[in-house]
Structure 1
Amino acid sequence: MSPREQAYRERAVAPAPSSSRRRRIPEGFTYISSCVKYTMFFFNFLFWMCGLLLIAVGIYATLDKWSNGEVFNLKTIYDVMFNIGFLFIIIGGVVCIVSFAGCIGSLRENMFLLKFYSFCLLIFFLAEMTLMALAFIYPHKLTEFLENELSEKLIASYRDDLDFQNLIDLVQQDFECCGISSNGYRDWSKNEYFNCTTKEDNPSVERCGVPYSCCHKEPNDVLVNFMCGFEVQEMKEVEDVVRKINTEGCIPAIQALIEGNLYPVGGIAIGIALSQLFVIWLSRTLEGQIESQKSLWTIQ
């Protein structure tokens, strides 16, 4: 047998190198980054606490109304939207569930919870982008919906819920507006307490008036004049109305404010979108690291 044939036979019968010799893995090595893991845990823990706080505030508001004998009318989606207590409970519940999945999923390295968390965040992000795109492409349709459908429900429900009433008053005072749509203060004729029907049909003392939050703010006034908006809808001269109350609707006022501060608003929107994408990236990165770690256990 020639030396070449003998060497070939020795290579053929030689044992294959072991897996430990093929790949040497340091003891204690892990693909999972502690920075990614605990960053996700920290932020989701904060959001989880915020969700619990919203639920607690919503439950307190609901129980307070129930103890005062208020009747809850939740027949339509608008009834839920305009009930601040129930709205807080729903929003807080969603935030609490999703952030809890991210918090425990990252801490325990649970793939099911992490996939559920990243899927929910992706759905929220796509829904926000879809709404923004529709608002940008069809701005008149959005304004028409807000002024026709939503404004009528908002005005009609003003006295039905004290928390909702305070919210509308706060918006009207802060944005110095009155009413919802481009009709301005005339929107309040849609409310049963402020409409200008006959005294037999509307015996309210607020007949033909508007809420006090429509009135101009006087810097030196300490006491609130709750009667300052009485009977303004009956005034014939527009100048008299303008001197007494704000006449512009809140939707046009907010639109004008956004258009006048387009760059800051756009920057805030981009910042929120980037933060959501960053959290989604963290979740997907941690999922990939867990998968790599599992494959490492299989090799070992």
Structure 2
Amino acid sequence: MPNRDYRYRDPAVAPASAAARTGRSSRRPRNRIPHNFTYISSCVKYTMFLFNFLFWMCGLLLVAVGVYATLDKWTNGEVLSLETIYDVLFNLAFLLIIIGGVVCIVSFAGCIGSLRENLFFLKFYSFCLLIFFLLEMVLLALAFIYPHKLTEFLENELSEKLIASYRDDLDFQNLIDLVQQDFECCGLSTEGYKDWRKNEYFNCSSKAVERCGVPYSCCHKPPEEALINFMCGFEVQELQIDEVAKKINIEGCIPTIQGIIESNLYPVGGVAIGIALSQLFVIWLSRTLEGQIESQKALWNIQ
């Protein structure tokens, strides 16, 4: 008779044993992630790169212009004095180098962080943008909460330094002339054209040719094809206010600009809101890309 195995077999174990013999698992196969799947959005990535590349190029241009202007002054024998914060603010060439350098560094971090998917550079970039945005909001809030303090600082402290430094830097002088011509104003504070008494060349006690006068940029715009009188501002500080108003603009630039802003409050507010929303959008893009990169790294670790 054939030899038979009559040992007891548990029915629950038998299927498992059969599955073990065949090498198959009783569990359901899990859904595998496609090999080419990625959390990183190409739209977010390359929008970030393009935006920061354009700003990086603008930063390089500012640095190049600032360096060229600085070298030009140095070759012409001008002394670069950077002893106080006002020396830096009123030295346009050096100010362009600083602003351009900051723009270059931050936008370069955004370029490399987005293109190479580098979290360190992206976090540095978003942190810098957030700091800039918060500083802008703080300054704006202070300007609204303490408007008189801001006006007092601009008219007293800053205007005195600006007027006194008029002849010290040719680029700075051209900037003041441009503002006075475009906004048809003279001087900075509420004293208007009398601010020029604070300049050693236009003071009435000076022995210069321009004593008791104001720069030509304070003069009324001449009619077309009329002869230009570059001496129209000479000795106007000694005249009566009615005679002065016939020759030059007598209002200060700060009150004039404030009046323009107040009369165009809605357009100015719209531009300010647009700039703030643009900054928030770029910060959101950066943070979104950071989250996508972290999710992608977690996916690689799982696989």
TM-score w.r.t. length of structure 1: 0.92
Q: 1:58 to 1:16 in 2, by over 3 A?
A: farther
Alpha-carbon shift at residue 225 of structure 1 (Å): 2.9
Q: 1:298 to 1:141 in 2, by over 3 A?
A: same
Letter in 1 for 2:223: P
Q: 1:233 to 1:221 in 2, by over 3 A?
A: farther
> Whole-Å Cα distance in 2 between the matches of residues 292 and 274 of structure 1?
27
Aligned to 2:4: none
Alpha-carbon shift at residue 84 of structure 1 (Å): 0.6
Find out whether 1:86 has 2:89 as its counterpart.
no
Q: After superposition, where does 1:23-62 map in structure 2 within 5 Å? A: 23-62=31-70
> Whole-Å Cα distance in 1 between the matches of residues 268 and 258 of structure 2?
11
Letter in 2 for 1:126: L
Question: Helix, strand or coil for the counterpart of 1:81?
Answer: helix
Question: Helix, strand or coil for the counterpart of 1:207?
Answer: coil
Find out whether 1:6 has 2:12 as its counterpart.
yes
Find out whether 1:99 has 2:103 as its counterpart.
no
Residue of 206, 209, 213 corresponding to 2:213: 209
Alpha-carbon shift at residue 218 of structure 1 (Å): 1.2
Alpha-carbon shift at residue 123 of structure 1 (Å): 0.2
Aligned to 1:190: 198
Letter in 2 for 1:289: Q
Preserved contact between residue 212 and residue 238 of structure 2 (Cα < 8 Å): yes
> Whole-Å Cα distance in 1 between the matches of residues 109 and 13 of structure 2?
61
Aligned to 2:283: 280
Structure 2: segments with no counterpart, 5+ residues:
1-7
Aligned to 1:133: 141
Q: 1:2 to 1:131 in 2, by over 3 A?
A: farther
> Whole-Å Cα distance in 2 between the matches of residues 195 and 108 of structure 1?
60
Superposition RMSD in Å:
2.1
> Whole-Å Cα distance in 1 between the matches of residues 201 and 14 of structure 2?
103
Aligned to 1:120: 128
Aligned to 1:218: 222
Aligned to 2:3: none
Find out whether 1:294 has 2:297 as its counterpart.
yes
Aligned to 2:174: 166
Question: Helix, strand or coil for the counterpart of 1:22?
Answer: coil
Q: Which has the larger radius of gyration?
A: 2
Letter in 1 for 2:222: E
> Whole-Å Cα distance in 1 between the matches of residues 169 and 62 of structure 2?
18
CA-to-aligned-CA distance 1:49-102 (integer Å, 9 cap, x gap): 000000000011111111111111110010010001000000000000000000
Alpha-carbon shift at residue 15 of structure 1 (Å): 6.2
Preserved contact between residue 222 and residue 228 of structure 2 (Cα < 8 Å): no
CA-to-aligned-CA distance 1:140-179 (integer Å, 9 cap, x gap): 0000000011000000000000000000000000000000
Letter in 2 for 1:65: K
How many corresponding residue pairs?
291
> Whole-Å Cα distance in 2 between the matches of residues 261 and 156 of structure 1?
31
Residue of 138, 153, 163 corresponding to 1:155: 163
Letter in 2 for 1:217: K
Q: 1:40 to 1:9 in 2, by over 3 A?
A: same
Q: 1:7 to 1:266 in 2, by over 3 A?
A: farther
Alpha-carbon shift at residue 126 of structure 1 (Å): 0.2
TM-score w.r.t. length of structure 2: 0.92
Structure 1: segments with no counterpart, 5+ residues:
none
Alpha-carbon shift at residue 221 of structure 1 (Å): 4.4
> Whole-Å Cα distance in 2 between the matches of residues 75 and 260 of structure 1?
39
Residue of 263, 268, 272 corresponding to 2:271: 268
Alpha-carbon shift at residue 16 of structure 1 (Å): 8.5
Alpha-carbon shift at residue 220 of structure 1 (Å): 1.6
> Whole-Å Cα distance in 1 between the matches of residues 78 and 57 of structure 2?
29
> Whole-Å Cα distance in 2 between the matches of residues 17 and 89 of structure 1?
66
Alpha-carbon shift at residue 29 of structure 1 (Å): 0.3
Q: 1:17 to 1:120 in 2, by over 3 A?
A: farther
> Whole-Å Cα distance in 1 between the matches of residues 174 and 282 of structure 2?
35
Find out whether 1:244 has 2:247 as its counterpart.
yes
Letter in 2 for 1:67: T
> Whole-Å Cα distance in 2 between the matches of residues 192 and 2 of structure 1?
114
Alpha-carbon shift at residue 22 of structure 1 (Å): 3.1
Alpha-carbon shift at residue 254 of structure 1 (Å): 0.2
Residue of 179, 189, 193 corresponding to 2:187: 179
